[in-house]
Homo-oligomer: A and B are copies of this chain.
Amino acid sequence: MSDTQTIAPPFDIEVLRNEFPNISDTAASGRPIVYLDTAATAHKPLQVINRISEFYSKQNSNVHRGVHTLSAQATAYYEESRKEVQSFLHAESADEIVFTKGTTESVNLVAYTWGERNVGAGDEILLTEMEHHANIVPWQMLCERKSATIKIIPVLDNGELDMDAIDSLISEKTKIVAVTHVSNTLGTINDIATICDKARRHGIVSFVDGAQAVMHLEVDVQKIGCDFYAFSAHKLYGPTGVGILYGRKALLESMPPFMGGGAMIDTVTFQKTTYANAPGRFEAGTPNIAGIIGMAEAIRWFRKIDVNQLAAYEANCTSILLDTLRSIDNITVLGAAEHRIGIATFVADGAHAHDIGILLDEQGIAVRTGHHCTMPLLQRFGVQQTVRASLGAYSNQADVEAFGNALQKSLRMLQ
């Protein structure tokens, strides 16, 4: 909320690392693990972990306007969490914030509800070649139900979107443009404001997948001009099982419900059921109360950091990471976008990603290997299995150096 304090500069990485038990507490695992898998899920600061325990031990109750004190209090925390997200995304109203179980559900919700009503035979959905499967498969399933088709904004060799191609890809049949804010494989930050602006000028709805963006950039949905924006709490230093769907109020109100059940209804009879207004209409059943309260705490924690200082700090770590990789023979990093976050995905000539991952793990370095749920993107770059190192706010230069050394040793062993 607006009373969030900003921790005074300078950004102190050691203070920050100490807030993460997974990083500071080497006793936990025997040896510290250099965690370069933050793009898959971020570690959680103690403030978030404690908030969840506190809720379960002292405040536990179901929500939705129960008459008793515990329930009213839980409902208050729940609705304050919605306001926290509203303020975080700079949305106009808290009613534009829907709680889901993750980015994946957020995309599916829109594809099932907005899509069901607005996409018909012959219509087109515009995606990019760098989308995560979460922002591909729900649209494919919609297209299959509706006999619509998918069009693709290509990715250039440097890992940026081919912005020039967009105009010619938009047609009268285009109903929605769904684009990732930041690529989870290339780290590229896309110019989504321009894309959303093009969409709006053609009367096309825009959906932005912010799963990899919210923990690195200031996100202002009104400045971006998108109709929908989605992210997951677990990548934003928060708990698992919680996601956000932001939707412009008029759009949300126009959409039919997704799941049916308690709390999303107004009245129920076997003859006719009427539904609650948004966002309630999209939140059937008992929500992930503790998770949602924990996510709000994660946002409060995150907003204590000055996002510009964080970005500068992360940019520095990222260039050390990229320089390290470029200095190693036979390594090819996918993409070289100018605007990027701390993700580096690479292949090594003559060494399989899986082997590299195994040997890095043996040296206490956690990276992700595989397709990172972006098979079409890897196909575009002509590779199948890759290694991805990704940074978080708590990553430091020592992590990157340890990774560089371990990687060189691994490559030697695989020669």
Chain A residues in the interface with B (C-beta under 8 A) = 21-22, 25, 28-29, 33, 35, 37, 40-41, 43-44, 46, 48-50, 52-53, 56-58, 60-62, 66-71, 101-105, 107-108, 111-112, 127, 132-134, 136-141, 150, 152, 232, 234, 239-242, 257-265, 267-270, 273, 284-291, 354, 357-358, 360-361, 365-370, 373, 375-376, 379
User: In the complex, A43→B62 CA distance in Å?
Assistant: 10
Contact status B37-A262, CB under 8 Å: no
**Assembled-state Cα–Cα distance A8/B234 (Å):** 40
Complex interface: chain B residues within 8 A of A360 (CB): 68
Is A44 within 8 A of B60, CB to CB?
Answer: yes
Q: Of A150, A286, A365, which is in contact with the most chain B CB atoms at under 10 Å from its CB? A: A286
Q: List 6 A-B contacts (CB under 8 A).
A: A41-B62, A41-B286, A50-B53, A53-B53, A134-B260, A288-B288
The 3 closest A-B pairs by CB, nearest first: A104-B285, A241-B288, A137-B260
Q: Across the interface, which residues of B come within 8 angstroms of A267, CB to CB?
A: 375
Assembly CA distance A49 to B23 (angstroms)? 21
Query: With A56-B44, A60-B43, A375-B268 known to touch, is A286 a contact of B232 (CB < 8 Å)?
Result: yes
Q: A111 CA to B154 CA in the complex, in Å?
A: 37
Bound together, the chains give a CA A285 to CA B270 distance in angstroms of: 34
Asked if A368 and B67 sit within 8 Å, CB to CB, the answer is yes
Most buried by B among A21, A43, A240, A373: A240
Q: Contacts A28-B58, A67-B357; is A379 near B105 (CB within 8 Å)? A: no
Known: A44-B57, A137-B268. 17 other contacts (CB 8 A): A21-B56, A33-B68, A33-B70, A37-B66, A56-B239, A61-B366, A66-B368, A67-B368, A71-B368, A101-B288, A103-B285, A104-B261, A108-B284, A239-B291, A240-B290, A240-B291, A241-B287
